Chains A and B, each alone.
Chain A
Amino acid sequence: MTKYEILGLTIGWILTVFIGLLALIIVWKIAKGDIDINYLISDELGYASLSRFQFLVFTFVVAMSLFYLIVIGTPPQYPIVPKEILALLGISGGSYVLSKGIQSSRDVGISEATKQPPKEAPEQPTNTPVIGDDEPEKP
């Protein structure tokens, strides 16, 4: 084994351990709730955003497909990425950016007109009904 092969192997192991630990910490913290993903697909007002949701869907679809194609190859190799995939992600990302621009333009317009800051996100992020919300007020 040459010194360059040893160097390559060492770098490979360091990266593997580093990425493995990183993955473990991220998944563990998300599962425990230390990394808050309640508002992952929400906009600034606390409502779910369709463009964020479709961005999430395409990201997972492309990542899973890429992983599958790399793993089934013998030897494993990175597949050729057709330009249509980039267009797909481009449409998705472009739509997200434009949507965000429109949203912030609307918020600025409304806050200028009403002289009030935009509404803050609701305190309760879940879409499950909050106990006591629908109860009539007692006299």
Chain B
Amino acid sequence: METLSTIVRYEALFLLTGLALILIYRLFTGQINTKGLLDDKIHKRGISPSRLQALIVTMLIAIYYVVKVMETQKLPNIPSEYLWALGGSHSFYLGAKVYGLLASKFELAAARMLKGSVKQ
């Protein structure tokens, strides 16, 4: 039973470490596409602030979580304030996306109306 348990540990370690190493290597060498990760894709105005803050909040909470696991040696209870912060950050990001969607639809509708009035 001991041997079985040891083998399973090494298998899980191999799988997780292998996947993580491949992903990190490919992200850094550009073999995994990261083009436009922070860009404003709707208005094409360079970096989107909503995306940037969502990325920063995500990374901070991920680091906080790992540090807490190492400290407490158990799955930590994340303070509700952090969850609100993450939820708020993502709501802001999604809100900006919805705003962009509505704006582009209005722009298209306005363009069609203009086109129609020119034809008449």
Q: Interface residues, chain A, CB within 8 Å of chain B?
A: 9, 12-13, 16, 19-20, 23-24, 26-27, 30-31, 37-42, 45-51, 53-54, 56-58, 60-69, 71-72, 76, 79-82, 84-85, 87-88, 91, 94-95, 98-99, 102-103, 105-106, 109-110, 113-114, 125-128
Which chain A residue shows the least CB distance to B109?
Answer: A113
Q: Does any Cβ of A come within 8 Å of B49's Cβ? A: no
Query: A80 CA to B72 CA in the complex, in Å?
Result: 13
CA distance A13 to B36 in the complex (A): 46
Q: Within 8 Å of chain A (Cβ to Cβ): is B18?
A: yes
Q: How far is the CA of A63 from the CA of B14 in the complex (A)?
A: 13
B104 and A106 within 8 A (CB): yes
A9-B1, A19-B11 known; A69-B33 Cβ under 8 A:
no
**Given the interface contacts A31-B22, A87-B83, does A63 sit within 8 Å of B75 by beta carbon?**
no
Which B residue's beta carbon lies closest to that of A102? B97
Contact across chains for A102 and B98 when beta carbons are under 8 A apart = yes
Q: Is the CB of B33 within 8 A of A46?
A: yes
Known: A12-B4, A23-B14, A26-B15. A38 touches B31 (CB 8 A): yes
Given contacts A67-B12, A126-B31, 11 further A-B contacts (CB under 8 A): A16-B8, A23-B15, A42-B33, A45-B41, A46-B33, A54-B54, A69-B69, A84-B76, A95-B90, A102-B97, A109-B101
Contact between chains at A127 and B38 (CB < 8 Å):
no
B7: Cβ under 8 A from any A Cβ: yes
Residues of B in contact (CB 8 Å), total 63
Smallest distance from the beta carbon of B42 to chain A beta carbons, Å?
A: 8
Asked if B114 is at the interface (CB within 8 A of a chain A CB), the reply is: no
Contacts of A42 in B (CB 8 A): 33
Q: Is the CB of B108 within 8 A of A23?
A: no
Give the distance in Å from the alpha carbon of A95 to the alpha carbon of B27 in the complex: 22
> What residues of chain A lie closer than 8 Å to B98, measured between beta carbons?
102
